[in-house]
Amino acid sequence: MLEFNLDVLRNRGYDTDTFTDADLLDAGERIFEVISLFTNRDFELKSITMNLDGQGISELYLPIPIISITSITENGDNLLETADYVVYNRGLPDDKEKPYIIKTSGVFPKGNQNIEVVGTFGWVEGGMKPGPLMEVAYRLLYLMFQPLLEGSDLDIEVPMNPNEIKSETRDRWSYSKYNRESIGSLFDNFVTAILLKFSKGDDILFGGWV
């Protein structure tokens, strides 16, 4: 679990008399949730199994950056050797935006969820959130969460232009779409610029079944 460095927060003026460790760590969890929601990315390091569709081509595209691959199995029983494929998870050039695996010979057989990929994945650098995002988290604590931590009666409102919100219902799925840049105007220029840099897509969606 990635979290605030309490020593950094203490050095920034969050004294122990006013802010307990638990308060700051709890605020950090909420801030990282805000960052993940805004950027539409998951910055946690995860060891998971994915079942992907083979496309009958030599490339297998993944929806999340690759840290390492443990195994790849085709059609439930064909376990590939590490020499059978090349993993594109380089730092330079940066493969995070388009992570994929390529077979050195032949293709990934076409099918539905017939390619099992086991490994470690995440939008991380050295097992940690990207450094600029940590600075964003510290600034969001000051901009948005410090009044709450201090027990202030201040009402925090989210100004939003109704024209920037689009609501639709499709196939019993209702959602509201918020333009990311309009929400970013709530933050300072540095925070907005960094969040947009690490963001995927142009909009933020909230929705549920109806």
Q: How confident is the model at residue 160 (pLDDT cuts 50, 70, 90)?
A: very low
- Please report the pLDDT score of residue 151 as a whole number: 67
pTM of the shown model: 0.64
Element (H, E) at 178: strand 173-179
Residue ranges of the domains in the chain? 6-43+127-209, 46-120
Beta strands in the chain (DSSP E): 46-54, 59-61, 66-74, 78-79, 85-88, 100-103, 111-121, 165-170, 173-179, 203-209
Cis peptide before 93 (omega within 30 of 0): yes
Q: How confident is the model at residue 105 (pLDDT cuts 50, 70, 90)?
A: very high
- Please report the pLDDT score of residue 106 as a whole number: 95
Q: How confident is the model at residue 47 (pLDDT cuts 50, 70, 90)?
A: very high
How far, in Å, CA of 177 to CA of 167, rounded? 6
Span 183-194, average pLDDT:
67
Which residue has 């679990």 as its token pair?
A: 1
Span 175-201, average pLDDT:
64
